[in-house]
Amino acid sequence: MQVRELTVPGALEITPKQFPDDRGVFLEWFSGEAFVEATGHQLALAQANCSVSSAGVLRGVHFADVPPGQGKYVTCARGAVLDVVVDIRVGSPTFGRWDAVLLDDVDRRAIYIPEGLGHAFMALEDQSTVLYLCSAPYAPGREHGIHPLDPAVGIDWPTESRDGRPLTPLLSPKDDAAPTLADAQTAGLLPSLDDVEAFTASLRAR
C-alpha cells in the first residue's frame, strides 16, 4: 500500500497494490498493520456501512462530536465518487481547508478521515457503491453537518459524470438544511483542535 497525507493534516489517501489475472483482481483495501504504521493507533471497528448512490448524489459534509467522534476508512467498490475531507477543527492552521480523492473501481483507492474532520462525497456514476469502516457507531445526538455547497468552504464539486453527462447536486433534506461552516462555529457545533489532538493522543496510548 502507498499512503499519502492530504493537505488537511491527519487525512490519508491509501492506494492498494492490485493483483489482476484472467479471473479478475485481488487487493487488500484495508490493512491493520499499514494503518497503525501510518496513524500510530489501531482502527477500532464499531460499524461498517454501505451506501449506493446515483450520479449527482451529494452526501455530507458530516462530522461527529469529539470525543469520541467517528473516524472513517472509505473506499468505492463500484462506480466512482469524489470524496472530500474538510478541516473543521477550530484553532487549526488549516481551518476551512478541503482536499479530495477520487475513489473508483479502477485505482481502488481508500481515504481515511480521522475523528474531528468533515466528510462528504459526490457520486460520479449511477450505482456508485461506497463502503465505510467506522470507529464509532452512528449516534444521532452527536452527529452534525455543514452545507456542502457553502461558498465560504468552496468545494469544487464536479459538474459532469464520468461519461460526460451534466451533474446536478442532489442533497437529502437534512443535508440541504445544514448550516454554513461559520454558522456551525457560532453555534458551538465544531470540535476544537485541542480536543481532537487530545483524543488522538489517547488512541495512540491504548
The grid cell for 35 is: 494503518
Rg (CA), the chain: 17
- Determine the Cα–Cα distance for residues 76 and 142; give it in Å rounded to an integer: 26
Report how far Cα 96 is from the mean position of its chain's Cα atoms.
15
CB 73, CB 117: distance < 8 Å: no
Q: What is the DSSP string of 45-92?
A: --EEEEEEE-TTBEEEEEEE-TTT---EEEEEEESEEEEEEEE--BT-
CB 196, CB 71: distance < 8 Å: no
Which residues are known to be catalytic?
Answer: 62, 132
Please give the C-alpha separations between residue 97 and each of 8, 57, 75, 87, 178, in angstroms, as whole numbers: 7, 22, 22, 5, 18
Which of these, 128, 135, 152, lies nearest to 32 by C-alpha position? 135
CB 47, CB 74: distance < 8 Å: no
